Structure 1
Amino acid sequence: MQPLPHHRPTRRLRIVLAAALALGSTLVGLDTLMWFRLEHLLDQRLDRFSTSARTSGWHFGADAGERGGWPLSATLTLIRPALRAADPQALGGLAWSGERATLSLSPLHPHRLTILAGGTQNLSVGRGGDVPIKLRFWGARIALHVPPDAGPREVAHYLLDAEALHVASPGAGPDDIAQLAHATGRLEWQPRTPAPDGLADTAGHDAYVSVSVDLRDVALPARLRASGRVVQRATLRMVLSGQAATGQPTRGNLHLAEASLDWGDSAAAVAGDATLDAEGRTNGTFDLVLTRPDPALRQMGETGLIGPGTSTTLRAVIGLVAAPQQGPRVHLPLTLRDGLLSLGQIPLLQIDPGLRDIGKSSAGTSTMSIH
């Protein structure tokens, strides 16, 4: 039996293989160069953010980052990032920190930054002697999508998307953790723009900030289940326009298109408009619509979500207003005068004047942003 003849690769096949190898090497080289370029862009954006934060009254810091993502993207993972007001008495005492945050750019969208929050994140709000509100949160995915640099008259769009989000206070037990199946937030910002000729005092007249939030299927901690275990949906749609939207302590308008809550058999929705003056005072009117509020208020008082006296007072006031109305829905007029929110002539809530510091502290400085 004779051995089979050995066929050497033809010249054409050798050329094809060599060309494929050369092309593959070229693509790998180009992708590597692109990766280094994207990593450089990440460094630039992080440096600009740190500078912007510092000039706006914030302090930002993080441990040495870890680079990665090749070949499909470029990533920079910050270890123990933290952002807080340089002056604890200003900016509402806002502070955030986390285990890690990953900045990512892709070759297809080299100027569209995505920030992924990893591990447990911590948020604190509260000034000076105030008891701060402290929360910790974590999730399967928490992503902030940051737009590329916007021109002076362009609108910047920020998008927050979270899946399987868990929220709790520090030290909370398993029964004190709220779980959100899905949460989205969208912010549109039109920055300050030059005023038309002859109208120098109207700079920022077309500036606005639009905020929308949508929460779905919120499983509440046991002690907050006054009207059911799950909040089916909570939404917020609002627009702040005028010079107040530029961070200046000047006049502006607040349009609350919708703030709603669907919780078991109960529901609430409010909408209205308010104006803001240079001193941070707010005045406006709102329409509040409640559906079957009495059982929810009673259980909220019994579970300690609100004080028993507050629960009784609210139920009595709403009962008086609702008496002439028919059906389970109650329409209530709300007024806001110098920061005091009232139901008719009955005061309900004083808006914290410390919130005005946020706008005043940033007046005359650049607005903190990631570009």
Structure 2
Amino acid sequence: MCPQGASGGSSGLARRCGGGCTGGRMRAIGLTSMDRKPPSRLPRRLLLLLALGLVALGAGHAVLWRGMANGLEQGWQVWVQLRRAQGWRVEHTEPVRGGWPLSATLTIARVRLEGGATTLPGGIALTATPVVLRVSLPWLDRLSVELPGQQRLRLGAAEFPFAADMLTATVPLEPDTPPSSAELRGERLRIGTPAGGVEVRSLMLTAAGSASATETEPALALRLGAEGVELPAGSGRGAEALGRSIQSLAADLWVSGPVPPGRAPAARAESWRDGGGTLELRSLALRWGEVAAQGAATLAFDDALQPMGAGTLRISGAVAALETLAEAGVVGRRAATTARTILPLLSRPSAETGVPEIEVPLTLEDRVLALARIPVLRFAPLDWPSVGPR
């Protein structure tokens, strides 16, 4: 350390310090410079690897999306060819791809499907504008069929235009295997009918089929759920009496027995009946005005190929509903008088809610629906198309 107050000028100061001050400072500077490490190249390599990874990921995603879009278009073309081979007439506009990056879509601006004359006199026709086919990541094993616009369904001579805020069918995708199940969901579905417009706030329908079903297995299982059903003004006196708003409806149906081949509906129905085929209403739940009902039934065809069957029905609010129907003239006076006597005797408090309810048998025979042996409704005869040999 240099002494303070040293004399002898600058040269003497330098000699007396022996170069200690300047040399030490230079050595300190030299050590500081030597301690500094050259800048690392690791961050640059990480950034380069990250950029390469993003490029590879983007390229892989592009290849995956292209494969999804190609699969959609190929599947659509196969479906069209199969329908045409079955005798259906299929017309459609050129498909347009889209949906990138999270889904692959195929939009067909207009599709018309027409045929089914052997099933229904006058045939069946569906005009959809548009149809959107969609496969989304990561559910590559599901196909969504969306109907976002105005659609039109013709059954025979009756036209049913319909539209919805959301109407989507979902089917599983299996290699080289036709879909065995489907799910349909809708919101604010509006349907035009000959009697007027029907609106359904929410709808859910699932279907599962099996071509190899035996007599004791369901060849087709259907499950329906609907809420907020608004009936048209021309629904009939019964609907007007109970109210045009059905709060909720749920049903679970099984079509059992092997489905026979053939093109003639009457011949197929006869073979299905002779093979032990039945339509089993496994459960029914209905809330309509003051009426809450639950039931189950089994239906089949009689010798004249008309529906017949039996079941049970549990009803709460039956007495009030009977009075309403009687006032509207839906139920005859004699039947109403008999029911007023019988129904209170059959009422029991519900084990779940404590509300009085009745459990009564249902029968359908000779096109007459009877509730506790009281005829309440007569159906028009089922007219089978006279197509193909019986």
Could you list the per-position Cα deviations for residues 153-176 of structure 1 after superposition, in whole angstroms to 9, with x for gaps in the alignment? x99331111123233348x9xxx6
- d(CA) in 2 for partners of 1:35 and 1:300? 59
Q: Which residue in 2 is equivalent to 1:218? A: 229
Q: Which residue in 1 is equivalent to 2:212? A: 192
**Do the aligned partners of residues 324 and 76 (structure 1) sit closer, same or farther apart at CA in structure 2, a change above 3 Å counting?**
same
Whether 1:109 aligns to 2:109 is: no
Q: Which of 271, 287, 305 is the matching residue for 2:312?
A: 287
**Do the aligned partners of residues 262 and 14 (structure 1) sit closer, same or farther apart at CA in structure 2, a change above 3 Å counting?**
same
Q: Is the 8 A contact 1:207 1:245 kept in 2?
A: no
Q: Is the 8 A contact 2:322 2:336 kept in 1?
A: no
**Do the aligned partners of residues 342 and 169 (structure 1) sit closer, same or farther apart at CA in structure 2, a change above 3 Å counting?**
closer
Q: Which residue in 1 is equivalent to 2:202? A: 182
Whether 1:324 aligns to 2:342 is: yes
Q: Counterpart of 2:242 in 1: which secondary structure?
A: coil
Q: Percent identity, please.
A: 24
- d(CA) in 1 for partners of 2:160 and 2:123? 14
Using the TM superposition, give the Cα deviation of residue 301 of structure 1 relative to its aligned residue in structure 2, in angstroms.
Answer: 9.2
Using the TM superposition, give the Cα deviation of residue 253 of structure 1 relative to its aligned residue in structure 2, in angstroms.
Answer: 1.7
- d(CA) in 2 for partners of 1:349 and 1:288? 19
Whether 1:335 aligns to 2:363 is: yes
**Do the aligned partners of residues 237 and 299 (structure 1) sit closer, same or farther apart at CA in structure 2, a change above 3 Å counting?**
same
CA RMSD of aligned residues (A): 3.9
Q: Is the 8 A contact 2:126 2:151 kept in 1?
A: yes
Q: TM-score, normalised by structure 2?
A: 0.69
Aligned length: 326
**Do the aligned partners of residues 38 and 298 (structure 1) sit closer, same or farther apart at CA in structure 2, a change above 3 Å counting?**
farther
**Code of the aligned partner of 1:242:** G
Using the TM superposition, give the Cα deviation of residue 117 of structure 1 relative to its aligned residue in structure 2, in angstroms.
Answer: 0.9
Q: Which residue in 2 is equivalent to 1:164? A: 188
Q: Which residue in 1 is equivalent to 2:162? A: 137
Q: Which residue in 2 is equivalent to 1:119? A: 149
Q: TM-score, normalised by structure 1?
A: 0.72
Gaps of 5+ in 2: 1-38, 263-267, 348-355
Using the TM superposition, give the Cα deviation of residue 150 of structure 1 relative to its aligned residue in structure 2, in angstroms.
Answer: 8.2
Q: Is the 8 A contact 2:335 2:374 kept in 1?
A: no
Could you list the per-position Cα deviations for residues 327-363 of structure 1 after superposition, in whole angstroms to 9, with x for gaps in the alignment? 475555443447x244248571145233797xx89x9
Q: Is the 8 A contact 2:307 2:364 kept in 1?
A: yes
**Code of the aligned partner of 1:233:** S
- d(CA) in 2 for partners of 1:256 and 1:355? 25
Q: Is the 8 A contact 1:39 1:76 kept in 2?
A: yes
Whether 1:241 aligns to 2:256 is: yes
Residues 54-69 of structure 1 aligned to structure 2 (within 5 Å) = 54-69=84-99
Gaps of 5+ in 1: 1-8, 194-201, 303-307, 364-371
Q: Is the 8 A contact 2:311 2:361 kept in 1?
A: yes
Q: Is the 8 A contact 1:144 1:158 kept in 2?
A: yes
Q: Which residue in 2 is equivalent to 1:5? A: none
- d(CA) in 1 for partners of 2:299 and 2:56? 60
Higher relative contact order (CA 8 A, sep 6+): 1
